[in-house]
């Protein structure tokens, strides 16, 4: 795959490739046996013996899953691999069984003509500080003790949360600002600057961490090269997923961010308060809630760690050093490394250098997180390009931040930021209002509280345009700083566990009749719209999200595909529930009662507030139907996979009870291409039966070149001598439920 300006180009035919993809998958964040809500098995023997074989799905099931993704029209996978999965047992000890599994799965992808870009995934550093990605031993290397993170407020960890079913929504993201994660990212990117005493085995911890990270992913990259999977399957590599900034650049460690749109929720210690708590000092911290205009302070709370410390005791550190064969510098004493570097004084509980992280501690020259991040990216990219010289580097800066410029020597680039509708993601509700968050954060609406009113959008039409505008801003920023390269929305998606919306009497009647006529156990009990109907909040949110990508003519990879998504625990990680797939199940009891006319609802309990208590039993015996319980209408839409020219516009109208599905695509032909424009078309909205499908093209001919029971592919050859803008229009059917 080549890049030319803002487009991906298929080398053999010179056709433009527009990617519609999915992240595979969210389940890769956790070992198969230790979902984030499960305390059993967590942090045993430093989590050295975990395995990620089978994530994202078992190899023996790969054909089923990959065909399912192809049936949905996906032609690109963002393939998640974590550092922990490769090097969990200890520094330099690689899980060859897991690497073999990854390679075998990539070979499977080749058989389905799926392109892949590899994603070194992490969130807030590791599972052990409330996220995912990096090995547990990295905390021990820094002198941290994950056993005490929860008690000291160093991290909020689902596995040890006292009430896992009521783990606060999206609160995991605040771990980026807490002691454990912030310390690790500071050491990883800028440890030599801010923690010069942290030397182990004669190597500074920054170099130690970065070299092991890069060498871990080198094991995968060189195997991909050896197996000849590069280019044909693996087209490129992401940089680190959503990297944290740690304390780097923080002006004052005694204050929270002054930016009133920065995410704050729950207990929010300042950096200094986090350091005190980590050393066992009881501290009052602010508590925050989330409102329509963003975070809002909601009082204070006292956190008392008791006897707990976030740092290893001298005896525990000695045991750890023996286990991993570490020899630390003589002046690296046990305890808080920030006290060790005179940032604060535990004996007086006072700050010595509140601005320590805002400039170089010795020279006092200005510092920039982007500078440290770029140094790492260049080293990582050079490793990748050594094995795969034509690899596309998918550049991902910290989430919601403006990307930096890259050195001119890197030619094969794509800008791959993430974007979510934050209001819906946090509130778990599709509201009749929203906020133009990206442009608000970029200062488009000025200063002061009135800017929130200027950024406010009310009504469906305004909200949809607001999403389009935000992606447009991100795309323009990428062109200005990284250059004229393709844009891929690396992550976007919706929460499926939204608050349900009341349905009309007509919709409830249709749902009832369809379920009983078809014998499907998928009816929404009570008075709420079914998820697979046109007016469900999930359908509206997904349609608005994908429409924003299509209107901006950008490629995207949806978050996420988790085939073992659970009706109660969602994606099995921190209460998130964004998987496009959840297998519909039938309780055994309902099968036994089928002769008596019993039909039992089996949709996700997060969508059904009135469902029977028996369906909330986590140990209930069920049988999978092989059907998708969250088969929303707008996920199924045509997509131009290969274009014999330059795409100009995409417009899809999602069908309703009264409106037929329609799709319009325009492009500018290029004579120097080979082959037709190929468009994926889902059967569910565009069946090929006479009278149910209308096709109109501005010139040339078209035909169906591939089909199965889920989709067909339309091939369109324009007139050879016609250089004008070309248009295709499809009209399908209406939909009540699918």
Sketch the domain layout of the chain as residue ranges.
505-535+584-633, 641-731
Q: What is the DSSP string of 411-468?
A: -SEEE--B---HHHHHHTS--SEEE-HHHHHTTTT-SSTHHHHHHEEESHHHHHHHHH
* Mean of pLDDT values over 237-252: 97
- Closest Cα partner for 253 from 122, 353, 374, 390? 353
The pLDDT value given to residue 311: 99
Tokens 């060790």 locate to 340
- State pLDDT tens for residues 402-438: 888 888 889 999 999 999 999 999 999 999 999 999 9
Q: What is the pLDDT of residues 23-33, one digit of tens each?
A: 999 999 999 99
- The C-alpha atoms of residue 500 and residue 555 are separated, in whole angstroms, by 30
Q: Catalytic: 491?
A: yes
Sign of CA dihedral 27, 32, 36, 37: positive
- pLDDT on residue 265: 96
pLDDT in tens, 551-588: 999 999 999 999 999 999 999 999 999 999 999 887 65
The distance between the two most distant Cα atoms of the chain, rounded to a whole number of Å, is 83
Q: What is the mean pLDDT of residues 542-549?
A: 99
Give the residue carrying structure tokens 């229009």: 729
Q: In this predicted structure, which of 65-74, 376-385, 524-533 has the lowest mean pLDDT? A: 524-533
pLDDT of the residue at 509: 53
Q: Residue 551: which of 460, 489, 495 has the closest Cα?
A: 489
Distances (CA, A) of 354 to 184, 186, 251, 271, 557: 19, 16, 7, 10, 41
What contacts 647, CB < 8 A, 6 or more positions away? Answer: 16, 18, 553, 640, 665, 666, 667
357 pLDDT more than 80: yes
The half-sphere exposure of 626 on its side-chain side, counting CA atoms within 13 A, is 4
pLDDT tens profile 593-643: 434 433 333 333 333 333 323 323 344 466 777 899 999 999 999 999 999
> What pLDDT shows up at residue 469?
98
Compute the Cα dihedral for 159, 162, 165, 169 and give only its sign. Answer: negative
Distances in Å between the alpha carbon of 618 and those of 155, 160, 569? Answer: 27, 19, 9
Mean pLDDT of the chain: 92
Residue with tokens 């609160």: 171
Place of tokens 């050879």: 720
How far CA 161 is from CA of 124, 155, 157, 301, in Å, comes to: 17, 11, 6, 18
User: How many angstroms separate the CA atoms of 353 and 570, rounded?
Assistant: 44
CA 58, CA 32: separation in Å to the nearest integer?
10
In whole angstroms, give the CA distance from residue 345 to residue 327: 26
Please answer whether residues 338 and 344 qualify as being in contact, where contact means their C-beta atoms are separated by less than 8 angstroms: yes
**Can you tell me the distance from the alpha carbon of 266 to that of 416, in angstroms, rounded to the nearest whole number?**
30
Q: Find the helix or strand (DSSP H, E) in which 369 lies.
A: helix 369-387
Rounded Cα gap, residues 574 and 29, in angstroms: 10
pLDDT at 352: 98
Whether 38 sits among the annotated catalytic residues: the reply is: no
What local confidence, expressed as pLDDT, does residue 622 receive? Answer: 63
d(CA 217, CA 197): 27
pLDDT in the model for residue 585: 81
3-state SS of 670-732 is: CCCCCCCEEEEEECCCCCCCCCCCEEEECCCEEEEEEECCCEEEEEEECCCCCCCCEEEEEEC
Looking at per-residue pLDDT, the higher value among 510 and 82 belongs to 82
For the chain, the 3-state helix, strand and coil shares in percent, each to the nearest 5, are 30, 20, 45
CA nearest neighbour of 212 among 289, 134, 149, 269: 134
- Fill in the DSSP letter of residue 187: H
Q: What are phi and psi of 181, to 5 degrees?
A: -65, -45
Query: With contact defined as beta carbons under 8 Å apart, do 556 and 603 qualify?
Result: no
**Average pLDDT of the residues in 60-68:** 98
Residue with tokens 């891929």: 488
Report d(CA 667, CA 411) in Å as an integer.
26
Instruction: Tell me which fold the domain 641-731 belongs to.
Output: Immunoglobulin-like (2.60.40)
Name residues whose C-beta falls within 8 Å of residue 497's C-beta, 6 or more positions apart in sequence. 428, 570, 577, 604, 606, 607
The model's pLDDT over 219-231, given as tens digits with 9 standing for 90+, comes to 999 999 999 999 9
**104-110 contacts: CB < 8 A, separation 24 or more?**
104/59, 105/59, 105/62, 106/79, 106/224, 106/227, 106/229, 106/233, 106/234, 107/227, 107/229, 107/233, 108/59, 108/62, 108/63, 108/66, 109/66, 109/77, 109/79, 109/233, 110/229, 110/232, 110/233
Per cent of the chain over pLDDT 90 is 84
Query: Residue 553 and residue 565: Cα distance in Å, rounded?
Result: 30
Whether 249 and 259 have beta carbons less than 8 Å apart is answered as: no
Angle between helices 271-278 and 179-194 (to 10 degrees): 100
Q: 663 with 637: CB under 8 angstroms?
A: yes
CA quadruple 274, 278, 283, 284: dihedral, nearest 10: 40
Among residues 89, 148, 242, 550, the one annotated as catalytic is 242
pLDDT, tens only, 501-510:
665 554 455 4
Q: 């565009």: which residue's tokens?
A: 686
The tally of CA atoms less than 13 A away on the side-chain side of residue 246 is: 23
Nearest CA to 150 out of 267, 57, 46 is that of 267
Token pair, residue 656, equals 């309703």
pLDDT category of residue 401 using cuts at 50, 70 and 90: confident
Give me the residue label for tokens 């783990």.
167
Exposed/middle/buried for 53, CB within 10 Å: 0-12, 13-18, 19+? Answer: middle
Give the Cα separation of 308 and 201 in Å (integer): 28
Nearest CA among 305, 440, 497, 390 for reference residue 11 = 390
* Full-model pTM: 0.93
- Work out the angle between the directed axes of helices 205-226 and 96-111 (0-180°, nearest 10): 40
**Which residue intervals of 552-609 are DSSP H helices?**
588-592
478 burial level (CB within 10 Å; 0-12, 13-18, 19+): buried
**Which residue among 491, 576, 583, 678 is the active-site one?**
491
User: 35-44, 245-254, 546-555, 712-721 — which is least confidently predicted?
Assistant: 712-721
Of 303, 269, 267, the residue nearest 287 (C-alpha):
267
Helix (H, G, I), strand (E, B), or coil: what is residue 557?
Answer: strand
Q: What is the CA radius of gyration of the chain?
A: 26
Cα dihedral 237, 243, 249, 254, rounded to 10, equals 180
- Looking at the chain, the number of H-run helices and the number of E-run strands are 18, 30
């Amino acid at each position: 795959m080549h890049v030319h300006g803002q487009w991906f180009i298929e080398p053999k035919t010179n056709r433009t490739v527009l990617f519609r993809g999915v992240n595979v998958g969210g389940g890769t964040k956790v070992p198969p046996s230790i979902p984030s809500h499960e305390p059993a098995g967590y942090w045993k023997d430093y989590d050295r013996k975990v395995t990620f074989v089978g994530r994202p799905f078992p190899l023996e099931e790969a054909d089923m899953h990959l065909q399912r993704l192809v049936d949905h029209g996906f032609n690109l996978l963002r393939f998640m691999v974590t550092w922990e999965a490769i090097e969990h047992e200890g520094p330099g000890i690689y899980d060859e069984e897991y690497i073999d599994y990854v390679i075998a799965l990539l070979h499977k992808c080749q058989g389905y003509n799926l392109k892949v870009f590899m994603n070194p995934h992490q969130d807030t550093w590791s599972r052990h500080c409330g996220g995912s990605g990096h090995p547990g031993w990295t905390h021990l290397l820094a002198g941290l003790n994950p056993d005490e993170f929860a008690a000291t407020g160093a991290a909020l960890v689902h596995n040890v949360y006292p009430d896992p079913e009521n783990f606060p929504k999206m609160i995991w993201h605040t771990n980026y600002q807490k002691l454990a994660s912030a310390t690790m990212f500071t050491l990883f990117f800028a440890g030599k600057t801010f923690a010069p005493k942290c030397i182990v085995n004669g190597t500074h911890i920054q170099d130690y961490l970065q070299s092991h990270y890069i060498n871990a992913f080198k094991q995968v990259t060189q195997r991909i090269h050896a197996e000849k999977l590069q280019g044909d399957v693996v087209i490129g590599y992401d940089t680190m997923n959503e990297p944290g900034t740690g304390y780097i650049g923080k002006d004052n460690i005694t204050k929270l961010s002054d930016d009133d749109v920065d995410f704050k929720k729950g207990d929010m210690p300042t950096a200094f308060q986090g350091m005190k708590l980590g050393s066992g000092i009881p501290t009052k911290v602010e508590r925050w809630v989330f409102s329509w205009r963003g975070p809002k302070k909601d009082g204070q709370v006292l956190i008392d760690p008791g006897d707990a410390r976030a740092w290893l005791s001298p005896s525990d550190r000695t045991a750890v050093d023996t286990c991993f064969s570490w020899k630390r510098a003589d002046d690296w004493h046990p305890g808080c490394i920030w006290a060790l570097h005179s940032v604060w004084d535990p004996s007086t509980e006072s700050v010595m250098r509140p601005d320590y992280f805002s400039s170089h501690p010795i020279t006092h020259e200005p510092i920039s997180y982007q500078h440290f991040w770029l140094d790492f990216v260049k080293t990582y990219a050079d490793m990748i390009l050594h094995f795969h010289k034509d690899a596309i580097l998918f550049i991902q800066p910290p989430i919601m931040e403006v990307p930096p410029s890259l050195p001119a020597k890197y030619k094969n680039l794509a800008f791959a930021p993430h974007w979510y509708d934050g209001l819906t993601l946090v509130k778990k509700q599709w509201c009749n209002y929203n906020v133009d968050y990206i442009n608000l954060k970029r200062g488009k609406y000025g200063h002061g509280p009135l800017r929130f009113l200027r950024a406010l959008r009310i009504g469906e039409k305004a909200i949809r345009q607001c999403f389009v505008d935000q992606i447009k801003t991100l795309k323009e920023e990428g062109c200005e700083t990284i250059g004229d390269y393709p844009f891929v929305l690396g992550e976007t998606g919706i929460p499926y566990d939204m608050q349900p919306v009341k349905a009309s009497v007509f919709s409830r009647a249709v749902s009832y009749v369809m379920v009983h006529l078809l014998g499907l156990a998928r009816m929404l009990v009570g008075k709420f719209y079914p998820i697979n109907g046109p007016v469900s909040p999930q359908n509206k949110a997904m349609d608005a999200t994908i429409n924003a990508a299509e209107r901006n003519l950008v490629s995207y990879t949806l978050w996420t595909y988790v085939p073992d998504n659970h009706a109660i625990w969602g994606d099995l990680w921190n209460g998130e529930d964004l998987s496009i797939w959840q297998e519909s199940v039938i309780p055994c009891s309902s099968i036994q009662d089928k002769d008596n006319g019993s039909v039992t609802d089996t949709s996700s309990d997060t969508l059904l507030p009135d469902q029977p208590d028996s369906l909330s039993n986590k140990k209930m015996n069920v049988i999978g139907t092989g059907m998708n319980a969250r088969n929303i209408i707008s996920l199924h839409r045509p997509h131009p996979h290969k274009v014999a020219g330059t795409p100009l516009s995409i417009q899809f109208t999602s069908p309703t009870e009264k409106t037929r599905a329609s799709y319009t695509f325009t492009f500018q032909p290029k004579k120097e291409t080979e082959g037709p424009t190929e468009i994926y078309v889902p059967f569910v909205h565009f069946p090929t039966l006479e009278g149910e499908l209308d096709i109109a093209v501005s010139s040339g001919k078209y035909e169906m070149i591939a089909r199965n029971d889920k989709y067909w592919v339309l091939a369109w050859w324009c007139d050879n001598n016609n250089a004008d803008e070309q248009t295709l229009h499809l009209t399908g059917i209406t939909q009540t439920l699918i």
